[in-house]
Structure 1
Amino acid sequence: MLVARSVLLFALAALFEIGGAWLVWQGVREHRGWLWIGAGVLALGVYGFVATFQPDAHFGRILAAYGGVFVAGSLIWAMAMDGFRPDRWDVVGALVCLAGVAVIMYAPRGN
């Protein structure tokens, strides 16, 4: 149950962080305006709160593991929102990152 909750929280964090950054990008780089930028900043703030609900109490571990989720999530977001098509090395890299997430977060520990 804790693993499922953790995975869900990582997915939500990715949605808010990547989505927020994308909204800021759209507002600035694509000249969509301050409303997009403001929505992005709010989403990035929500991301910060979502991360605090992870069952593990170690900030460094959560953020290190989230880095792998961010890599994979960014590729998925780019495919869905920007028409980006990853090559096999993008996919292999993302899978390596997700394997790192699994080791960092879910490996058995003696504590």
Structure 2
Amino acid sequence: MIKSISIFILACIFEVGGGYLIWIWMKQNQSIWIGLFGAICIVIYGLIATLQTDSFGRVYAAYGGIFIIFSLLWACFIDGFKPDKYDIIGSIVILSGVSIMMYSPRQ
């Protein structure tokens, strides 16, 4: 479980970070090098995701939930975004669902 969570976090850094770099390149007229580095980060994210040992469908569904939470955290710490109570409640619900999907005992 610790390995799986570590892979999720590493993948989040590259996916959300890469997307953010592309965002600021396009929205804030930054250097094309920022956008290219963002694209490279997204490719690295795709490679990191394959390190998960569960099935593709379950892993990518869970990534969706993890990325929502990580994106909100990124926005808080990088952009100064202030989540409201609905963001926090939604994140708790999402994290609960991801935990059930990924870490419930199965036959």
TM-score, with normalisation over the residues of structure 1? Answer: 0.94
Partner in structure 2 of residue 59 of structure 1: 56
Cα distance in 1 between the residues matched to 2:57 and 2:30: 35
Aligned position for 1:96: 93
Measured after TM superposition, the shift of residue 90 of structure 1 is 0.2
The within-5 A match list for 1:1-111 is 3-56=1-54, 58-110=55-107
Gaps of 5+ in 2: none
> Hey, what's the Cα distance between the residues in 1 that align with 2:27 and 2:50?
30
TM-score normalised to the size of structure 2? Answer: 0.98
Deviations 1:42-93 (A, max 9, x none): 000010011100121x101000001110010000000011000000110111
CA distance in 2, matches of 1:19, 1:105: 24
Q: Distance in 1 between matches of 2:47 and 2:94?
A: 23
In 2, Cα distance between the equivalents of 1:47 and 1:97? Answer: 21
For 1:48, give the aligned amino acid: G
Q: Which runs of 5+ in 1 are unaligned?
A: none
**Identical-residue share of aligned pairs (%):** 42
Counterpart of 1:84, as a letter, is F
Q: CA RMSD in A?
A: 0.6
Q: Distance in 1 between matches of 2:95 and 2:43?
A: 24
Q: How many residues align?
A: 107
The code of the aligned residue for 2:88 comes to: V
